């Protein structure tokens, strides 16, 4: 258990001009981890000194970043099975106080609205047409074409709120919902464009026959074929490679989200965020 008196005494010493004392206080408070956050936040509200306020804010961020890093490590070493869990951990980097249950409920709500209309047996293209209708027409999701570099396009909570995202964030929400409905839709790590594949689960082991068709979540769930992927790769002067046609792992998806965020923050000149996100990328190897 945390000693309240000790914590508050340490917090009062955060603005000490002696660097050695500050370092000791900082490290001690950091060692308390998540338990210290409440005390630090209430001290922040009462602090009049700008140095103390800044040091408290930085310390809270440091603790929260450590938690995100640890959560990502645990997710990876637990098998990285749950994509929603993985993307929520990344969301925590920017929104540590978010009510994640609200995000989960929003996704469940979209799933339920599709499920209600999917009561009869439907073919694969019919299933996708129905998902598209609910996702794009009823809920109004769309690709953020006007501000594609905005880091908010990569944070799940923001995409669910604004209904605008980039290729990968829309594809993540789309595939999570499809999989919750037992529809075999998975992410494909195509260069410069993240797409989805509808798998023929009876032939999943075979490279040629495993994918029935592809889906572009950024373009209202547009359905296309293998030939279109061939053409796209040709335009990029890239050789056909198995990984550009087949589903990738959840770890690869989260890595790509992090790379997008790094690129967005580089564009904004946020060097501290770029450094931290690179640390998170290193966790995933």
The secondary structure of the chain, three-state, reads CCCHHHHHHHHHHHHCCCHHHHHHHHHHHHHHHHHHHHHHHHHHHHCCCHHHHHHHHHHHHHHHHHHHHHHHHHHHHCCCCCHHHHHHHHHHHHCCCCCHHHHHHHHHHHHHHHHHHCCCCCCHHHHHHHHHHHHHHHCCCEECCCCCCCHHHHCHHHHHHHCEECHHHHHHHHHHHHHHCCCCEEEECCCCCCEEEEECHHHCCCCCCCEEEEEEHHHCCEEECHHHHHHHHHHCCCCCCHHHCCECCHHHHHHHHHHHHHHHHHHHCCHHHHHHHHHHHHHCC
Domain locations in the chain? 4-77, 83-283
* Highest mean pLDDT (candidates 18-22, 34-38, 252-256): 252-256
Please report the pLDDT score of residue 203 as a whole number: 59
The structure's pTM equals 0.91
pLDDT tens readout for residues 221-266: 999 999 999 999 999 888 888 889 999 999 999 999 999 999 999 9
Q: Rounded CA gap, 111 and 255, in Å?
A: 26
Please report the pLDDT score of residue 141 as a whole number: 97
Query: Does residue 208 carry a pLDDT above 70?
Result: no
pLDDT tens readout for residues 130-148: 999 999 999 999 999 888 8
Q: What is the mean pLDDT of residues 52-58?
A: 89
Report the percentage of the chain scoring pLDDT > 70: 97
Query: Does residue 209 carry a pLDDT above 50?
Result: yes
Please report the pLDDT score of residue 206 as a whole number: 46
Query: Does residue 174 carry a pLDDT above 60?
Result: yes
Confidence of residue 183 (pLDDT cuts 50, 70, 90): very high
Average pLDDT over all residues of the chain? 92
The interaxial angle of helices 50-77 and 271-283, nearest 10 deg, is 20
């Amino acid at each position: 258990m945390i000693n309240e008196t000790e914590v508050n005494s340490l917090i009062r010493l955060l603005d000490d001009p002696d660097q050695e004392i500050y370092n000791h206080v900082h490290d001690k408070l950091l060692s308390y981890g998540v338990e210290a956050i409440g005390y630090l936040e209430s001290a922040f509200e009462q602090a009049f000194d700008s140095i103390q306020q800044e040091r408290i804010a930085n310390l809270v961020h440091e603790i929260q970043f450590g938690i995100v890093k640890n959560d990502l490590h645990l997710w990876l070493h637990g098998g990285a099975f749950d994509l929603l869990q993985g993307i929520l951990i990344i969301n925590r980097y920017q929104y540590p106080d978010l009510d994640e249950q609200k995000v989960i409920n929003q996704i469940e709500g979209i799933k339920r609205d599709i499920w209600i209309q999917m009561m009869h047996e439907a073919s694969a293209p019919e299933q996708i047409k129905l998902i598209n209708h609910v996702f794009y027409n009823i809920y109004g999701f769309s690709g953020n074409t006007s501000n594609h570099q905005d880091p908010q396009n990569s944070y799940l909570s923001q995409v669910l709120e604004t209904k605008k995202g980039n290729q990968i964030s829309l594809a993540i929400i789309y595939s999570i919902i499809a999989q919750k409905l037992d529809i075999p839709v998975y992410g494909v790590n195509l260069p410069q464009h993240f797409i989805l594949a509808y798998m023929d689960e009876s032939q999943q082991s075979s490279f040629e026959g495993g994918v029935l068709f592809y889906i572009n979540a950024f373009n209202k769930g547009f359905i296309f074929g293998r030939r279109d992927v061939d053409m796209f790769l040709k335009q990029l002067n890239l050789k056909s490679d198995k990984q550009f046609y087949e589903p990738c792992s959840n770890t690869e998806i989260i890595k790509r989200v992090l790379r997008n965020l790094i690129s967005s923050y580089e564009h904004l000149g946020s060097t501290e965020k770029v450094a931290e996100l690179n640390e998170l990328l290193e966790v995933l190897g």
